[in-house]
Amino acid sequence: MSEHWHIGVIGGSGLAAGIGLDDAQDIAVSSPFGEPSAVVTTGRLGGVRLTFLPRHGAGHHIPPGAINYRANIDVLKRCRVTDVIALSAVGSLDETMQPGHFVAVDQFIDRTMGRENSFFGPGLVAHVSLADPVCPRLAAALADAAEGEDAVAHRGGTYVAIEGPQFSTRAESRMYRGWGGQVIGMTAMPEARLAREAELPYALLGMVTDYDSWREGDEADVAAILDVMHRNVALAHRVVRRFAAALPKSRPPSPIDRALDHAVMTAADARDPALAARLLAVAGRVLG
């Protein structure tokens, strides 16, 4: 693993444009898992390379359930990113996590359905640990950066990932609160699962836009959500810049860099060669 940081950033389609990257380039990267959401934008911020990928594509034309999460993570791995940070709008299931606040998520409850949630499959089986799905040092660095920009940042929170594209019913929203969910969104899964399979440390900074629909008189209103998002775009840019500036000059190894060490179960002589070839970027380190 490289001793230098190369941060993959997954977020909105306008995120890279406002960061102020040096030597920015748009690059089309292909994946054996299909088409990624968009071309990547790569460049430098100070001494750190960042590569941006808009999750919903240019102009936000891909709904959550149609995002090719496997291709997106595979493309970032092919770009040789060392770590991935994600920025997402989230609804709040917790009174203390108010619109305008940031939440450095540390856990997930996955309620998505029918999405391709693994790079592995028949012919090449692997099981990675997902007990702690978020990289703690990335999450802490994102929270530090948000607080450094005078934002309220909650350190830890359970993200309920729903299929969408509709928002929750009131009954669902209240059920998720009863489960211990604190924020809710539609895109973190299987993104976080796939990042772990690709041995990429991952952290998500959620920007709270609304209270979902669990409170009487409240509902997830798109106009209100967009208003909060637009008012915080510049803040999100500053947070990413501060995050990059605060990274140590060299990157210490992470245990997640070796998440596949004991995960592959299929014997070498029983592996599907076609699937093994598709996994070259993601798992080539352990497949030989």
Q: What is the mean pLDDT of residues 20-41?
A: 96
Query: Catalytic annotation on 22?
Result: no
Residue tagged active-site, from 132, 210, 257, 272: 210
Percent of the chain clearing pLDDT 90 (strictly above):
86
Query: Is position 212 annotated as part of the catalytic site?
Result: yes
Confidence of residue 234 (pLDDT cuts 50, 70, 90): confident
Q: Which domains are assigned to the chain?
A: 6-287 (3.40.50.1580)
pLDDT tens-digit series, residues 1-30: 568 999 999 997 667 777 889 999 999 999
Q: Which of 73, 70, 78, 119 lies closest to 272 in space, CA to CA?
A: 119
| Catalytic residue selected from 23, 212, 269, 272 | 212
pLDDT single digits (tens) 137-173: 999 999 999 999 999 999 999 999 999 999 999 999 9
Omega cis (within 30) before 136: no
